[in-house]
Amino acid sequence: MHIYERLRLHPERPQIRQIRRAAELLRQGLFAVVPTDTTYAIMVLPESLDALSAIRALRRLNEQHLWALACSDLSQAARYAQMDNSAHRILKRSLPGPFTFILPASSQLSKRVFGKRRDIGIRIPEYDICQMLLEELGQPLLTTSMLLPGEDYVATDPDQIHDKVRHLSCVMMDAGWCGITPTTVIDLCGDAPEVLRHGLGEWSE
pLDDT tens-place string over residues 150-162? 898 899 999 999 9
For the cut 90, the answer to whether the pLDDT of residue 63 exceeds it is: no
In this structure, the strands spanning 194-197 and 40-44 are unpaired
Q: How many CB atoms within 10 Å of residue 205?
A: 7
pLDDT tens-place string over residues 75-127? 999 998 999 999 999 999 999 999 999 999 887 776 666 667 789 999 999 99
pLDDT at 204: 81
Give domain status of residue 129, yes or no.
Answer: yes
Give domain status of residue 204, yes or no.
Answer: no
Give domain status of residue 154, yes or no.
Answer: yes
Number of structural domains the chain divides into: 1
Q: Please give the Cα distance from 106 to 173 (Å, whole number).
A: 30
Give domain status of residue 93, yes or no.
Answer: yes
The DSSP symbol for 105 reads B
pLDDT tens-place string over residues 154-190? 999 999 999 999 999 999 999 999 999 999 999 999 9
Give domain status of residue 160, yes or no.
Answer: yes
The DSSP symbol for 109 reads S
Helix (H, G, I), strand (E, B) or coil at 130: helix
Give domain status of residue 139, yes or no.
Answer: yes
Q: How many CB atoms within 10 Å of residue 168?
A: 18
CB 174 within 8 A of CB 6: yes
Q: Please give the Cα distance from 187 to 151 (Å, whole number).
A: 25
Beta-sheet strand order (sheet of 4-8): 4-8, 170-174, 31-35, 40-44, 141-145, 68-70, 119-123, 99-104, 184-187, 194-197
CB 74 within 8 A of CB 85: no
List phi, psi (to 5°) of 121: -85, 135
* Domain carrying residue 144: 4-197
Q: Mean pLDDT of all residues in the chain?
A: 93
Q: Please give the Cα distance from 182 to 92 (Å, whole number).
A: 20
Whose CA is closest to 121, among 198, 187, 48? 187
64 pLDDT band (50/70/90 cuts)? confident
For 57-81, what is the mean pLDDT?
92
**CATH code of residue 133:** 3.90.870.10
Give domain status of residue 202, yes or no.
Answer: no
